[in-house]
Amino acid sequence: MITAGRTLWLAFALISSLLLCALSISVGSRSIGLTEVWQVLLHPQETTEGVVVMQLRVPRTVIAVVVGAALAVAGVLMQSLTRNPLADPGILGINAGASLAVVMAVAITGIASITFYLWFAFLGAAAAAVGVYLLGSVGRQSATPARLALAGVAITAALSALVQTIILTNQEAFNEFRFWTAGSLEGRGLDITAVVAPFIAAGALCALALAPTLNALALGDETGAALGVRIRRTRALTFLAVTLLCGAGTAAVGPIAFVGLGIPYLARAAVGPDLRWAVPMCLLLGPAMLLAADIFGRVIITPQEVQAGIITALFGAPVFIAIVRRRRIEAV
């Protein structure tokens, strides 16, 4: 019965994501009927509707699916790694590293194109994550959850200070950073998705492979070791998976708040703490949340748009407060 219930939840999440994909292609400042959308997808045309669907909404929907899944899985891995249900991927300094790389690239080169600074954002995120892991591993002790969290907070504070220093002295970097840091799916084409998709796919596969081992490690280091878990190797691979997922997703669309926090919470509530089920659930629920936020942002003040990152923050903040106000927050 438990397995059947989990399967139903996965089916529900899949159907929800598919329906939201259809709405994402159909809804906007210029609404297009689903029948017409289907015809355009089957027989691309050079009409106005054809251009809107194929060149604007389909790429936007695809990157929402890819990035939403990446951030949600990164969140559930981060919470498992730190054994903290309130942990967010940004705690590893990934967002701060990507932000610093973006403003430095724009300030030094003067080129304000996302296809240009995308690679810098990803490399900055990866470099910051590696720095956090090395700092958390200093000394005789291994990279424990507490040490990683403290190292992440310290590096995030330092990098954020550097970001503020640069954008206050460079107007062009400030303008581009202001747009990127809001977390927007607008203008992200399939070329950007093609760049980040291999990294996200590698991170997702790594997460699925690590799920049974992380389940054992959740029982404690001593119990995990007794069950044959190689603790340092598992933490290093989990850290690598989080870096690939969150780094690539953040580089593509900017920092998106609360997807990596709220979706793992909902996934565990639906299918339980077993990561063999929670990770696939996050893969399906993450796109649903980001798609819903993007759709809502398009229609709330038509014909203008509100960035998806702002919408997720508005709706995610109450969820975070509700989690914190619970009488008992169980460790992951």
**Whole-Å CA distances, 158 to 136, 148, 176, 270:** 15, 15, 21, 38
Segment among 30-44, 163-177, 208-222, 301-315 with least mean pLDDT: 30-44
| Cβ atoms of 177 and 99 closer than 8 Å | yes
232 vs 24: which has the higher pLDDT = 24
What tokens does 258 get? 């609360």
Q: What is the pLDDT of residues 261-286, one digit of tens each?
A: 889 988 998 998 889 999 999 999 99
| Cβ atoms of 164 and 127 closer than 8 Å | no
| Cβ atoms of 32 and 298 closer than 8 Å | no
pLDDT class for 324, splitting at 50, 70, 90?
Answer: low
pLDDT class for 327, splitting at 50, 70, 90?
Answer: very low
Nearest to 294 by CA among 314, 272, 309: 309
Q: Report pTM.
A: 0.87
What are the chain's domains? 2-325 (1.10.3470.10)
Angle at 235 (CA atoms; ends 234, 240), nearest 5 degrees: 100
